[in-house]
């Protein structure tokens, strides 16, 4: 026999302390009765009290509490084989790690905010599977579809601009790589969450074609745009993380990175998804999570599990029976059946 919730067994400690406390109070009560008057007089005054019944009531209450504790611990013995199915949505997250995502029009910067929103989405999307694609001028899968969100967060935090040598931005390649990350044998809904500033500096003409291809395969794209349309300079740092200046073009002018909402809106529209601009309070995370929760869920995993058979019902039933019996015990003995009896401590009790 084992227990599904063994921590509840700790409650036996307080139960034992309560029993000792009641025993101590009982002894104090007997001592107080001794000081009150003659034992014979006290016995006559309490001749109809069912002392034995009261003791059994207390014992039955303790038995009931002990049985309830065991029931809460969910005892198990025996085993049964069950088919366990996990249903949900397949979600591939495409994260832009290009240099433009270091712009600080969202604090602390666009990339840090995007990673924070992905982590919040994981909190809201338990039960589904998430994979991550990182992209800049090229794209690759950082981790495949998984339900192990703790490990996924570790790889998410490791994403940074220096991990891809091609510094441009290729949205089409990002969408293609995300599409390749899905399990085609599953009937579950497939979703791509695209987090980027939308500046497609490489193969921009292919984005519309890839978006239409995704739509033809029933894939929904939710796009979240990071940045501002007005533009923001791109900071540059040395190996120690110290700000050394801002990115400049060949003419020596400071480069401004702007949010391209039009491209992201077109991608979302083509796939029956939605576009959201990243806000200071991150409210778009809730909107995306709510939208995904309304999608059709499919079987993600099916496996056989051997589980112990829970038997808490027996202990709970015995606890209820003990309480019922305790309530049926009369508090008073009949006058005819009562006769004096000396109880511990010298006080006379009544026999029935």
Domain count, the chain: 2
Domain membership flag for residue 84: no
Domain membership flag for residue 301: no
Please indicate, yes or no, whether residues 202 and 235 belong to a single structural domain of this protein. Answer: yes
CA distance 92 to 302: 21
Which region holds residue 245: left if phi is over 0, alpha if psi is between -120 and 50, else beta?
Answer: left
Please indicate, yes or no, whether residues 74 and 99 belong to a single structural domain of this protein. Answer: no
255, 272, 296 - which closes a domain: 296
Please indicate, yes or no, whether residues 150 and 192 belong to a single structural domain of this protein. Answer: yes
Please indicate, yes or no, whether residues 337 and 289 belong to a single structural domain of this protein. Answer: no
Domain membership flag for residue 162: yes
Helix 51-72 to helix 12-36 angle (10° resolution) is 170
| Domain encompassing residue 324 | 2-79+308-351
CA distance 2 to 15: 21
Please indicate, yes or no, whether residues 100 and 60 belong to a single structural domain of this protein. Answer: no
Q: For position 350, what pLDDT does the model report?
A: 44
pLDDT < 70: residue spans in the chain: 33, 36-49, 81-86, 200-204, 296, 298-306, 333-352
Q: For position 156, what pLDDT does the model report?
A: 94
Please indicate, yes or no, whether residues 197 and 238 belong to a single structural domain of this protein. Answer: yes
Secondary structure letter of residue 170 according to DSSP: -
Domain membership flag for residue 303: no
Domain membership flag for residue 302: no
CA distance 169 to 206: 13
Q: For position 139, what pLDDT does the model report?
A: 94
CA distance 330 to 50: 7
Please indicate, yes or no, whether residues 258 and 124 belong to a single structural domain of this protein. Answer: yes
Q: For position 315, what pLDDT does the model report?
A: 92
Please indicate, yes or no, whether residues 221 and 102 belong to a single structural domain of this protein. Answer: yes
Please indicate, yes or no, whether residues 258 and 112 belong to a single structural domain of this protein. Answer: yes
Please indicate, yes or no, whether residues 118 and 254 belong to a single structural domain of this protein. Answer: yes
Please indicate, yes or no, whether residues 26 and 168 belong to a single structural domain of this protein. Answer: no
Please indicate, yes or no, whether residues 99 and 243 belong to a single structural domain of this protein. Answer: yes
Domain membership flag for residue 222: yes
Domain membership flag for residue 35: yes
Q: For position 348, what pLDDT does the model report?
A: 45
């Amino acid at each position: 026999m084992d227990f599904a919730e063994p921590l509840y067994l700790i409650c036996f400690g307080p139960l034992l302390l309560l029993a000792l406390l009641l025993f101590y109070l009982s002894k104090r009560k007997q001592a107080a009765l001794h000081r009150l008057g003659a034992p014979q007089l006290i016995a006559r005054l309490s001749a109809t009290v069912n002392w034995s019944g009261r003791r059994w009531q207390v014992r039955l209450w303790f038995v009931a509490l002990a049985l309830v504790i065991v029931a809460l611990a969910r005892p198990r013995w025996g085993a049964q084989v069950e088919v366990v199915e996990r249903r949900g949505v397949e979600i591939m997250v495409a994260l832009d790690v290009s240099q433009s995502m270091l712009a600080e029009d969202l604090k602390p910067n666009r990339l840090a905010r995007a990673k924070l929103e992905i982590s919040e989405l994981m909190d809201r999307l338990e039960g589904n599977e998430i994979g991550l694609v990182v992209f800049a001028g090229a794209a690759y899968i950082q981790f495949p579809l998984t339900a192990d969100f703790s490990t996924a967060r570790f790889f998410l935090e490791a994403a940074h601009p220096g991990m891809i040598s091609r510094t441009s931005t290729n949205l089409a390649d990002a969408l293609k790589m995300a599409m390749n990350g899905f399990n085609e044998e599953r009937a579950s809904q497939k979703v791509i969450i695209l987090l980027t500033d939308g500046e497609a500096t490489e193969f921009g003409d292919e984005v519309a074609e890839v978006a239409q291809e995704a739509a033809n395969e029933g894939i929904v794209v939710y796009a979240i745009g990071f940045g501002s349309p007005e533009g923001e300079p791109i900071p540059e740092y040395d190996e120690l993380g110290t700000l050394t200046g801002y990115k400049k073009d060949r003419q020596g002018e400071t480069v401004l990175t702007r949010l391209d909402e039009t491209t992201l809106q077109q991608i979302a529209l083509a796939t029956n998804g939605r576009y959201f601009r990243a806000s200071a309070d991150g409210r778009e995370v809730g909107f995306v999570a709510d939208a995904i929760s309304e999608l059709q869920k499919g079987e993600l995993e099916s496996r056989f599990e051997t589980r112990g058979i829970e038997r808490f019902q027996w202990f709970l039933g015995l606890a209820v029976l003990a309480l019922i019996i305790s309530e049926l015990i009369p508090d008073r003995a009949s006058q005819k059946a009562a006769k004096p009896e000396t109880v511990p401590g010298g006080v006379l009790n009544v026999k029935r």
